[in-house]
Amino acid sequence: MDNPYVPVPMRVKMARFESDDRSLKTIDLEPVEGEIFDFMPGQFCEISILGKGEAPFGIASVPWEGILRFTINRAGVVTTAIHQLEEGDVVGVRGPLGNWYPVDLFEGKNIVIVSGGFAFTTLRSLIKYLLKNRERFGKITLVYGARRPDLLLYRDELDEWKKSGEMDMYITIDKPVEGWEGYVGFVPQVLEQASPSPENAYLVMCGPPAMIKFTLPVIEKLGFKPETVFTSLERRMKCGIGKCGRCNIGKYYVCKDGPVFSLDQLNKLPKEY
Ligand SMILES: Cc1cc2nc3c(=O)[nH]c(=O)nc-3n(C[C@H](O)[C@H](O)[C@H](O)COP(=O)(O)OP(=O)(O)OC[C@H]3O[C@@H](n4cnc5c(N)ncnc54)[C@H](O)[C@@H]3O)c2cc1C
Ligand code: FES
pLDDT digits (tens, 9 = 90+) for 16-65: 999 999 999 999 999 999 999 999 999 999 999 999 999 999 999 999 99
| Mean of the per-residue pLDDT values of the chain | 96
Residue 227 pLDDT level (bands cut at 50, 70, 90): very high
Ligand nearest to the CA of 68: 1
CA atoms of 234 and 236, how far apart (whole Å): 7
pLDDT recorded at residue 273: 57
If you average pLDDT over residues 212-221, what whole number do you get?
96
Contacts of residue 260, defined as CB under 8 A and 6 or more positions apart, other chains included, come to 42, 98, 99, 100, 101, 102, 230, 231, 232
Q: For the chain, how big is the Rg over CA atoms in Å?
A: 18
In this structure, the residues whose C-beta lies within 6 A of any atom of ligand 1 are 44, 53, 55-58, 70-73, 75-79, 118, 121, 234-237, 259
Hey, what domains does the chain have and what are their CATH numbers?
8-97 (2.40.30.10), 103-232 (3.40.50.80)
Neighbours of 186 (CB within 10 A): 18
pLDDT recorded at residue 3: 87
Q: What percent of the chain has pLDDT over 90?
A: 94
* Gap from CA of 3 to ligand 2 centroid (Å): 16
Ligand 1 atom 4 nearest Cα: 57
If you average pLDDT over residues 230-243, what whole number do you get?
94
pTM of the entire predicted model: 0.96
pLDDT recorded at residue 1: 56
73 CA: nearest ligand 1 atom: 11
pLDDT digits (tens, 9 = 90+) for 94-152: 999 999 999 999 999 999 999 999 999 999 999 999 999 999 999 999 999 999 999 99
88-97, 196-205, 243-252: segment of lowest average pLDDT: 243-252
Q: How far is CA 73 from CA 58, 142, 167, in A?
A: 12, 22, 27
* Gap from CA of 75 to ligand 1 centroid (Å): 7
With a 6 Å cutoff on the Cβ, whether 242 touches ligand 2 is yes
3-state secondary structure 87-146: CCCEEEEEEEECCCCCHHHHCCCEEEEEEEHHHHHHHHHHHHHHHHCHHHCCCEEEEEEE
Ligand nearest to the CA of 78: 1
* Gap from CA of 144 to ligand 1 centroid (Å): 21
